[in-house]
Amino acid sequence: MHPSPSLQQRMFQCAADRPLFVRSAQLAQDYMTGVADQPVFPPEAALTGLTGFDGPLPDEPCDPAAMLRQLHDLGSPATTATTGGRYFGFVTGGVLPPVVAAKWLADAWDQNAALYVMSPVASRLESVCQAWLIDLLGLPAGCVAGFVGGTSTATAVGLAAARQELLRRQGWDVNAKGLFGAPPIRVVIGAEAHSTVFKALALLGLGRERVELVPVDGQGRMQAGALPALDQHTLVFTQAGNVNTGSFDPFDEICDRAAEAGSWVHVDGAFGLWAAASPRLRHLVKGAARADSWSVDAHKTLNAPYDCGILLCRHSEATVMAMQNTGAYIVYSEKRDGMLYTPEMSRRGRGIELWATLKTLGRRGTAELVEELCDRARQASGLLRHEGFRILNEVVFNQVLVACDTGEHTLATLQRLQASGECWCGGTSWQGQTAIRLSVCSWASTPEDIDRTVAAFVNARG
């Protein structure tokens, strides 16, 4: 009897098993081409099937083909069809097929993007993405970019850089001394700021509740006239793209006030900052480039794979100081060391996929993508209004807020819509009104998808 092969023998064998990888690619491609026909939210049978994953940790290794088969058989039908054309929940980007292909290659590379010496290719592609993003978004030359998991983290990094710099100017080294006993920093923020901004404030010791809230208008835009007096100890949080209405803060007016006072301005531009990439929509972010730092997601509007968020900051030194990390074995190079700009040390090479996304789209493709999402949102709002639904927001970007005659009717419609499998929208409450949120965020949403979605709304209304 032969002894059973070692883990190492089995893994070498698996690496050489071309049919396994071909099978995986086939399954993935079948998924990509079939996703349009699958229920947008998994049906009950698929959800029940997920119990097939339960059970104790197996003692013995699993045959790779059997592992892949189980993942596909139980997993694929239980996915939410976010890469198809009729998923409108949250602000959830689809994914560009060529980038999936590039990601497979990069997955095999399994690069660690912490340091140049750990991955020259990840380092170089981060540098290239940094330059391209500054160009595409119209930001000041000399900005640095940190590539993180999403806007939540990007905002926390921006806030850390702001905290570092505002306190340094007052002679306080927050890295060394922390916040206890530090001079105060004021935080001025719109009443409709995203929840993740408050999370970042809590995380960095600035507190969710010691903020000065600025009143907003009916679209959630900060009223610049209602800003409190600013000073050089103040951080102002603005927003490009309200998560409900898609509205944009008046950046020019806010930046005028901040510039006079020497305040730091951060822009939460998770999905909306991409308006800057379109000549037609650029007016929405007018003045946003005058800020000090920006957070933006590539996995939303840009349709890069999850997870991919970016912090951009014009104060490179403050960013690096805030993310400071040293150790005898850490070798910084003359080239880009990604961990200088991120909270993490080890980090996957998400700049590789971002490069693939920007390369696939180019300047023109990016504008086309963003404009198409907005056109589909406008199409949906026009048709829904025509069908007698109320549209609660000015549709300036990719977000549409839909309501029936009463809150109860809206909720019942939403539940039937979600159960239909035809499309998926989430719910919200907008300034006291129950609403259905429709966020167009996938390249794959066609005019026909919008027609079908509107028909599903009409059916669900009963």
> First-to-last CA distance in the chain?
69
Contact status, residue 27 vs residue 76, Cβ threshold 8 Å: yes
The answer to whether residue 398 forms part of the interface with ligand PLP (CB under 6 A) is no
Q: Which of 122, 185, 206, 270 binds ligand PLP (CB under 6 A)?
A: 270
Q: Quick one: 230 or 243, whose CB is closer to ligand PLP?
A: 243
Size (the chain), residues: 462
Q: Quick one: 268 or 422, whose CB is closer to ligand PLP?
A: 268
Q: Quick one: 287 or 309, whose CB is closer to ligand PLP?
A: 309
Residues 6+ apart with CB under 8 A from 389: 402, 403, 404, 457, 461
Q: Classify 438 as helix, strand or coil.
A: strand
Q: Quick one: 39 or 158, whose CB is closer to ligand PLP?
A: 158
**Pairing verdict, β 309-313 and 144-148:** antiparallel
The answer to whether residue 373 forms part of the interface with ligand PLP (CB under 6 A) is no
- Residue 91: C-alpha distances to residues 381, 425, 426 (Å): 17, 10, 10
Q: Quick one: 119 or 357, whose CB is closer to ligand PLP?
A: 357
Considering only the stretches 106-114, 265-273, 321-329, 416-424, report the one whose residues sit in contact with ligand PLP under the rule CB under 6 A: 265-273
The answer to whether residue 297 forms part of the interface with ligand PLP (CB under 6 A) is yes
Q: Which of 39, 241, 305, 343 binds ligand PLP (CB under 6 A)?
A: 241
Minimum CB distance to ligand PLP, residue 291 (Å): 15
Q: Is 286 exposed, middle or buried (0-12, 13-18, 19+ CB in 10 A)?
A: middle
Minimum CB distance to ligand PLP, residue 271 (Å): 5
Residues forming a β-bridge with 43: none
Q: Quick one: 115 or 273, whose CB is closer to ligand PLP?
A: 273
Considering only the stretches 266-274, 275-283, 347-355, 368-376, report the one whose residues sit in contact with ligand PLP under the rule CB under 6 A: 266-274
Q: Quick one: 126 or 268, whose CB is closer to ligand PLP?
A: 268
3-state secondary structure 349-417: CHHHHHHHHHHHHHHHHHHHHHHHHHHHHHHHHHHHHHCCCEECCCCCCCEEEEECCCHHHHHHHHHHH
Residues 6+ apart with CB under 8 A from 41: 80, 81, 418, 419, 421, 424
Q: Which of 87, 147, 251, 271 binds ligand PLP (CB under 6 A)?
A: 271
CA-to-CA distance for 106 and 110, rounded, in angstroms? 6
CA-to-CA distance for 299 and 246, rounded, in angstroms? 17
Residue nearest to ligand PLP (CB): 150
Kindly write out the interface string for residues 137-156 of this chain, putting x where it contacts ligand PLP by CB under 6 A and - elsewhere: -------------xxx----
The answer to whether residue 338 forms part of the interface with ligand PLP (CB under 6 A) is no
Q: Quick one: 38 or 437, whose CB is closer to ligand PLP?
A: 437
Q: Which of 118, 136, 243, 352 binds ligand PLP (CB under 6 A)?
A: 243
The alpha carbon dihedral of 243, 459, 49, 444 has a sign of negative
Q: Quick one: 267 or 392, whose CB is closer to ligand PLP?
A: 267
- Which residues lie near ligand PLP (CB under 6 A)? 91, 150-152, 194, 196, 241, 243, 268, 270-271, 297, 309
